[in-house]
Amino acid sequence: MPLLEVRNLVVEIPGRRGTLRALDDISFSIEPGEVLGVVGESGAGKSLTGAAIIGLLEPPAHVAGGEILLEGQRIDQLPHEKMRHIRGKRIGAIFQDPLTSLNPLYTVGRQLEETIRAHLPVTQAEARRRAIGLLEDTGIPAAAQRIDHYPHQFSGGMRQRVVIALALAAEPTLIVADEPTTALDVSIQAQIISLLKRLCRDRGAAVMLITHDMGVIAETCDRVAVMYAGRIAEVGPVHNVIHEAAHPYTAGLMAAIPDMSQERERLNQIDGAMPRLNAIPSGCAYHPRCPRAFERCSVERPELMPAGATRAACWLHDPAVARKKEVAA
């Protein structure tokens, strides 16, 4: 059974000029111990998907359809208090800016100890011992002394390590990490990514890693879901998605990555921009930017379908199209 299963998720945002559909029929799953990357341009719906899963959608955004199941239990309709308990105990969250996750008025030790005691039946002394152990596990030197420091006394990279420790404090089975390395410099990014991989492997937790950085995805993930305009364009094993992209959008993202082995004066780019929520094109949302679009793409919206080792929402992989090519050949 998947650890997390998202079925036909729809998130809507009501406004004065009507209701906008921010996530449209999103479905995917994450197995225990797996790292699933979610990638796409800004505005694709990556962070909104993560927020829906952990129950932190900003009103008036709300889940308008579909289901979110954690270990077989539906969690998208739970009351606020029950979801709050699940969010700490069974789902850990790591956000882009560690300062938004840490209370500047409390020492990091107090914040860790309170989280541990809120979700685990331990004494104050045991909670402090566990907190020091978590700081040591996340690579913070002299953890027994630094536990009594405040967030502002840590560097950006060290603060993000504290946030990871906080996310792991109640021993969750799922970590939702939303751009956990974006605010950090490249060398610290690599340290945080390897730390996250190691901790989750050692503890058996699954990770949903939201990022726009394909390098981070390639380095970290087992599978990847590529999002575009509130839908999943392609999903599959990370190696196949990166090296044998089945969706033209995925292929465009891959082609835009600098290749150190080739000499090019200009990087490839995807013409145009992500559509606004109030102007999603008919048919396949990507068709106005797609170099391989044909008539059906502007009229009929494709669902995810088998495309080699991955699944892609693209009419190029419709069996009927493949048969026509064979006949023409």
State both tokens at 15. Answer: 């406004």
Listed residue (171, 240, 172, 182) closest to 209, CA to CA: 182
Residue with tokens 């990091």: 108
Give the pLDDT of residue 286.
97
State yes or no: pLDDT of 321 exceeds 70. Answer: no
Average confidence (pLDDT) over 197-225: 87
Using the structure block, give the residue that is written with the tokens 């780019």.
269
Q: What local confidence, expressed as pLDDT, does residue 260 receive?
A: 65
Position with higher pLDDT, 328 vs 233:
233
Higher pLDDT residue, 328 or 138?
A: 138
CA angle centred on 152, ends 149 and 157, rounded to 5°: 95
* pLDDT of 322: 57
Token reading at 142: 């002299």
Q: What does the block give as tokens for 263?
A: 């000499």
Q: Look at residue 327 and tell me whether its pLDDT is greater than 80.
A: no
- The percentage of the chain sitting over the pLDDT mark of 90, rounded to a whole number, equals 67
pLDDT at 29: 96
Residue 226 has pLDDT above 60, yes or no: yes
Tell me the per-residue pLDDT of 302-320, one tens digit each, with 9 for 90 and over.
999 999 999 999 999 998 7
Mean per-residue pLDDT over the chain, rounded:
90
Quick one: average pLDDT of 292-301?
A: 95
The whole-number pLDDT of residue 198 equals 82
Q: Which residue has the higher pLDDT, 197 or 327?
A: 197
| pLDDT grade for 116, boundaries at 50, 70 and 90 | very high
Segment 61-110, tens digit of pLDDT: 999 999 999 999 999 999 989 998 899 899 999 988 777 789 999 999 99
- The tokens describing 23, both together, are 């996530």
Banded model confidence at residue 250, pLDDT cuts 50, 70, 90: very high
Which amino acid is residue 179, in one-letter code? E
Mean pLDDT of 1-18: 94
